[in-house]
């Protein structure tokens, strides 16, 4: 049996569980105005796999292959205006899903490793970004799964961590045979001057002081009867002061400036994080953040850099030297080398473990507030 079949099946289970936790009536909702309706993504995950892997084979449903092909945010000068009635019935979409999966499973063993890995990680990316959408749905439209016990906070150490001058390795070596997306190549070394970095991600409690100074609250916060509440995926709870704050890049930059610091560059973040990922809140094990002190420090002394919330950097998403677009997906990265997207590193609770490799780069526009993304600040030594 092809070793990728169990992996793609595991990834399908992740996305199937996501759609199954919604009230069926919500599947034609659009929780985030800039995104497609949820029903689109049910079909998109299968259309992407089939269109990627079919290699010259004719379509079995040409209309749906095209309708569900592109999963990025709708583009244009205004928001999308389609209505639920404009989409196929759920029965039609699910029949397409079933047929597409059968077809993909039949041809996957003949497909290049690179294409199979692209299909798997593409689906796992959507397993995370769908959570951002579902987070915006009313609580009553979601079925609560069993939740793991909350993680306790460990004692907090104050002060920033001094990172000495030295090299940071960014990217993957093309000769390594390790899978990576086109923007992860080519590996190169950057000399980084000494700097100080926050030991922990900025917390809700710390950001609350910024809000009290006049900043707007994050979209995950609500205020009721004079008290701040936090909207998790399934509940509204008193604001957890020791959880990382999730904000847009614009808000993270504004906080850093207010605090007299800056956001780290991608190279600074990488130097502070060191090598392989350590214990953390990732790989779909939890729905919510955990206290920033829950996981201990890496070799540099900096804590909680893997999972528990992506971390914004000040680096504009751009190609590394030696960049070559995927010939089968030329716009995956290149369409976003526009000076309007910023690199994020680390991962969140809803990030698959395979994408916590040090070379992985995520990116979003600076005003987008729905990502499970926080930040920490730096100061030049």
Q: What is the pLDDT of residues 318-364, one digit of tens each?
A: 999 999 999 999 999 999 999 999 999 999 999 999 999 999 999 99
- With contact defined as beta carbons under 8 Å apart, do 133 and 31 qualify? yes
Residues 6+ apart with CB under 8 A from 239: 204, 208, 221, 227, 228, 229, 230
Residue numbers of the chain with a pLDDT score lower than 70: 1-2, 71-77
**Is residue 59 within 8 Å of residue 32, measured between CB atoms?**
no
Q: How far apart are CA 100 and CA 61, in angstroms?
A: 9
| Cβ-proximal residues to 85 (8 Å cutoff; 6+ apart), any chain | none
Distances, alpha carbon 199 to alpha carbons 17, 139, 157, 163, 369, in Å: 35, 34, 8, 11, 24
| Burial class (CB within 10 angstroms; exposed 0-12, middle 13-18, buried 19+) of 46 | buried
Q: Are the C-beta atoms of 60 and 95 separated by less than 8 Å?
A: no
What's residue 296's pLDDT? Answer: 80
CATH 3.90.1580.10 fits 160-380, yes or no: yes
Q: Is 102 helix (H, G, I), strand (E, B) or coil?
A: helix
Write the CATH number of the domain with boundaries 4-141: 1.20.120
Joined together, the tokens standing for residue 13 give 């289970």
Beta-bridge partner residues of 303: 297
Check residue 346 and give its pLDDT: 96
Residue 16: strand, helix, or coil? helix
Structure tokens, 317: 């998403």
Q: Residue 69, Cα to own-chain centre: how many angstroms? A: 20
What are the extents of the domains in the chain? 4-141, 160-380
- What per-residue confidence (pLDDT) applies to 262? 98
Q: Which residues contact 368 (CB under 8 A, 6 or more apart)?
A: 248, 249
Give pLDDT, residue 73.
56
Would you call the peptide bond into 186 cis, given omega within 30 degrees of 0 as the criterion? yes
pLDDT tens digits for 160-216? 999 999 999 999 999 888 999 999 999 999 999 999 999 999 999 999 999 999 999
Q: Residues 6 or more apart from 342 whose CB is under 8 A from it?
A: 249, 312, 313, 314, 315, 316, 317, 363, 364, 365, 366
């Amino acid at each position: 049996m092809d070793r990728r079949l169990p992996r793609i099946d595991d990834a399908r289970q992740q996305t199937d569980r996501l759609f199954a936790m919604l009230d069926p009536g919500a599947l034609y909702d659009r929780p985030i105005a800039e995104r497609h309706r949820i029903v689109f993504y049910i079909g998109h995950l299968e259309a992407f796999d089939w269109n990627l892997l079919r290699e010259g084979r004719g379509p079995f449903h040409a209309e749906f292959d095209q309708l569900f092909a592109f999963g990025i945010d709708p583009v244009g000068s205004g928001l999308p205006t389609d209505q639920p009635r404009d989409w196929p019935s759920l029965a039609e979409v699910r029949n397409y899903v079933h047929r597409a999966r059968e077809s993909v499973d039949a041809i996957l063993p003949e497909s290049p490793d690179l294409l199979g890995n692209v299909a798997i990680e593409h689906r796992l990316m959507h397993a995370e970004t769908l959570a951002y959408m579902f987070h915006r749905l009313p609580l009553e439209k979601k079925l609560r799964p069993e939740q793991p016990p909350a993680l306790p906070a460990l004692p907090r150490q104050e002060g920033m961590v001094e990172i000495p001058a030295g090299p940071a390795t960014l990217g993957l070596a093309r000769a390594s045979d390790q899978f990576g997306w086109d923007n992860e190549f080519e590996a190169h070394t950057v000399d980084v001057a000494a700097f100080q970095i926050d030991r922990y991600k900025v917390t809700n409690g710390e950001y609350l002081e910024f809000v009290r100074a006049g900043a707007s609250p994050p979209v995950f916060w609500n205020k009721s009867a004079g008290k701040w509440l936090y909207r998790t995926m399934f509940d509204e709870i008193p604001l957890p002061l020791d959880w990382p704050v999730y904000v847009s890049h614009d808000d993270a930059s504004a906080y850093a400036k207010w605090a007299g610091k800056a956001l780290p560059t991608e190279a600074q973040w990488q130097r502070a994080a060191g090598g392989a990922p350590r214990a953390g809140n990732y790989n779909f094990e939890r729905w919510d953040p955990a206290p920033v002190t829950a996981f201990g420090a890496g070799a540099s002394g900096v804590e909680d850099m893997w999972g528990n919330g992506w971390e914004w950097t000040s680096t504009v998403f751009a190609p590394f030297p030696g960049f070559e677009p995927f010939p089968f997906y030329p716009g995956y990265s290149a369409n976003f080398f526009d000076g309007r997207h910023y690199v994020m590193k680390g991962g969140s609770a809803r990030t698959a473990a395979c994408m916590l490799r040090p070379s992985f780069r995520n990116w979003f526009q600076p005003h987008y507030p729905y990502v499970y993304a926080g930040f920490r600040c730096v100061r030049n030594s």
